[in-house]
Chains A and B, each alone.
Chain A
Amino acid sequence: MLSAKAKESIKTALAMTIAYSIALSMDWDRPYWAGFAVAMVSLATVGQSMNKAALRMFGTLVGMVVALTFIALFAQERWAFILLLSTYTGFCAYMMSGSRNAYFWHVSAFVCVIICMDGGPHAANAFQTAMLRTQETGLGILVYSLVTIFIWPSRSTTAFNAASADLATTQLQFYRACLGLASGQGGEQEAQQLSAQQVQQKAHFDQLLGAAETDSYEVWELRQPWRRYQQQAAELMHALERWRESFAEVQALDLQHLLPGLDAFGNELDRRLLQIKKMLAGHAPDQLPLVVDLSLDKDAVRGLSHFDSASVVVTRDHMRRLEQLTRSLFESASEISGVSKASASADVPRTSSSALVLDLDRMANVVRFMAIFWMAWLALIYVNDIPGGAGLVSMGAAIGIAIANMPQVPVSKLFMPAATGMLIGAVLYIFVMPTLSSFMGLGLMIFTATFAICYLFAAPQQALGRIFGLVLFITLASISNEQSYNFLSVANTAWMFSLVFLILAITAYIPFSPRPERAFLRLLGRFFRSSEYLMSAMRQDIPPPATRLELWKKTFHAREVATLPAKLGTWAPHVDAKVLSGTTPEQVQALVISVQTLTYRMQHLLEERDSPQAQLLVKALFEEFHAWQLGLQAVLQGLAENPAGAESSALRVRLDSVLERLEEKIKGALNKPAEGQFSDQDAEEFYRLLGAYRGVSEALVDYAGNAGAIDWVPWRQERFA
């Protein structure tokens, strides 16, 4: 019985051999382009491969049209031509890092460069090159698609069903862990693990949903409820996180007493999540969602301090949000399982587009890609007989755009896969290929080499090695009908790749240092700068943003605050604790979590500021709130300059004194107006605002505690990357 990786390797090897045989029998020039297409689109399941194949085909077509347009417009103007080409590829590099269809933009960019570099010097051949590239890419995709559909088809459905069941189970477990934490039971560590697991499983689910829609008719038919479920599951994930982050303020309180319906409410949510899990497994639900109430015990709340009351109101809001989300999830799951039909409100809510909000990290990727592209281009123009010729620019663009979008991956990590691929290709080209006399022998060699590379680099984390291995084997072998053997061609290709790596290494510092700890510090600085801006924009003594520029700035900083914790999370595993003595990976992880908490609290504060407020109370306490805002702003400003610059104990003392002073002022303000002037609604709205301010302050104290545990001196010391 063959293993899964053997079957996948055989499929890729067979598709590669068939693609070569067709291209050679049709006497097409450069048959290796068909081989490239097979190498790139071969993935674990039919759906994943088909999706990637579609993106490659569309990317090739768009790249081809753009390249022919550039050649037609600027055939005789070298600099205008390359300026326009680099602008287009730069645009693709920007789009690549933020798009679901990243591969489309990647292919579109490098196909455009390949055709321009090939057709640019001989414009008459441009059309032929473009057509050849397109038809051979189409051939490779068609052959691989047929092979993967007819031989051991591996559909995504089973993996997708397992992924959706796993996600539902983890969300249920995470909810239970959070509920345990709220009632003072359960461990923080378990909740932390489940939280990380939830994020990973959600990413896996997202990945497989696209594939399952392509290769399973059942999933395709239910794609709308599935997409809705995907979005609601993401919202539930965030809502659970925000709820969990609010526990610090309520842990000392008796929530069961303050919220009498808490147990029934908690059990109902538990039951709903359990029913969702059952429905996704194909079973009918035992019962429909019940209406549950989570009212405050007003008498008990009156006995609390105002800040504790605010914390209870905030926690209850989080739980009500969970109630709404579990109800929507239940509806989507019942539609998926066929229990109920689509409701009128079943359309997927549109998320606001953020395409016009600039992303600084994506811009940095573009700058690095531009540096790679221009360096390769200038080397081609000014260095005589440079190895690879125009191929240096094509290969530099194809690898450079991918590397620029993965700034966390050091160039040195690519060296081994590239060297292995080069060695395999060189040995076959020099020692094996000259002994072959028919396609029987050549086909056997293509099959064996492809199988060996795919089998040796089968694990998902070895994808880079597999791609480099196949690309270098195909490039070095350069199989064609008029085969020639020349050691210089191997040496030239090897030199060309060395030059590409040289350019990648030189441009690693453009525009920023590639050192993970430096990137981490830079992102932290940006996070606090944006937080400080948002805090200043919330001040009541400053008019709210009115002009387009001001609104755009606010959106930009809100987006920065929302996205930077995830970016910090991608850099955190690359921070080398061996080099940075006095720092452990757990400390870095804790710091990232505290930044994420701060984001949730800032977002909560922004939402509360935008919602209706108890204006009389806010006005009565204007000075205190203003002083609090200025204090927060000053702390954030200090952290923007030095992310380790706040001392947790000092902040705690300051916060406690602010809370004490405000408590007294609130009492005074509440006693002043005539009775009946403040409704319960007013009080709740005021408590929400109060809770949101306190939340940000507590999160800052928590961050300062985590930052204080790290020895930052080695982080700032200079080091070669």
Chain B
Amino acid sequence: MPPLLVAAVFGMMAALLTTRLLNRYRLSKYFFYPPVVSLALIIIYTVLIGTFIIGT
């Protein structure tokens, strides 16, 4: 299975958790366009997980 795919799925889950927390504490209202923030979080988490967890 491609490592990037595994990292992407875990990245997606981490981003989902982060967005839930941001909603819970009403911090999401400070973002201009949350869908793009979601996407950015998925990419950041995917790269981090792919580099430091799966990549090692």
Contact = CB atoms under 8 A, between A and B. Distances in A.
A717 B31 CA distance: 9
Contact of A720 (B8, B9, B12, B38): B38
B28 A719 contact: yes
Interface in B9-40: 9, 12, 16, 19-20, 22-23, 28-35, 37-39
B2 A495 contact: no
Determine the main DSSP class of A at the interface with B: loop
Nearest to B29: A717
B33 A718 contact: yes
Contact of B1 (A495, A502, A717, A719): A495
A495 B1 CA distance: 10
A387 B6 CA distance: 11
B54 interface: no
B9 A502 contact: yes
A495 B12 CA distance: 13
B2 A720 contact: no
A385 B6 CA distance: 12
A720 B34 CA distance: 6
A720 B1 contact: no
A385 B1 contact: yes
B48 interface: no
B28 A720 contact: yes
B9 A498 contact: yes
Contacts of B30: 718
Contact of A513 (B2, B9, B22, B35): B35
A383 B29 contact: no
B35 A509 contact: yes
Contacts of B35: 509, 513, 721
B5 A386 contact: yes
Interface in A380-408: 383-387
A499 B8 CA distance: 10
Contact of A383 (B5, B12, B16): B5
B9 A719 contact: no
A718 B38 CA distance: 12
B2 A719 contact: no
Interface residues of B, number: 22
Interface string A710-721: 000000011111
Interface in A493-513: 495, 498-499, 502, 505-506, 509, 513
Interface in A344-390: 383-387
Contacts of A509: 35
Q: Most chain-B Cβ atoms within 10 A of its Cβ — which of A385, A495, A719?
A: A719
Nearest to B39: A506
A555 B28 CA distance: 41
A717 B37 CA distance: 15
Given A720-B19, A720-B28, A720-B34, A383 B9 contact: no
Contacts of A505: 12, 16
Nearest to A508: B35
A363 to B, nearest CB: 20
Nearest to A379: B5
B34 A383 contact: no
A721 B35 CA distance: 8
B5 A720 contact: no
B2 A384 contact: yes
A513 B12 CA distance: 19
Contacts of A384: 2
A719 B30 CA distance: 9
A387 B1 CA distance: 8
Nearest to B16: A505
Contacts of A387: 1, 5
Contacts of A502: 8-9, 12
A385 B19 contact: no
B5 A719 contact: no
Contact of A718 (B1, B12, B28, B39): B28
A499 to B, nearest CB: 8
Given A385-B2, A719-B29, A721-B34, 19 more contacts: A383-B2, A383-B5, A384-B2, A386-B2, A386-B5, A387-B1, A495-B9, A498-B9, A499-B9, A502-B8, A502-B9, A579-B23, A718-B28, A718-B31, A718-B34, A719-B28, A720-B22, A720-B28, A720-B37
8 contacts: A383-B5, A386-B5, A499-B9, A505-B12, A505-B16, A718-B30, A719-B28, A720-B22
Interface of A: 383-387, 495, 498-499, 502, 505-506, 509, 513, 579, 717-721
Interface of B: 1-2, 5, 8-9, 12, 16, 19-20, 22-23, 28-35, 37-39
Q: Across the A-B interface, give the 8 residue pairs with the lowest CB-CB distance, nearest first.
A: A720-B19, A717-B29, A509-B35, A720-B34, A719-B28, A720-B28, A720-B23, A718-B34
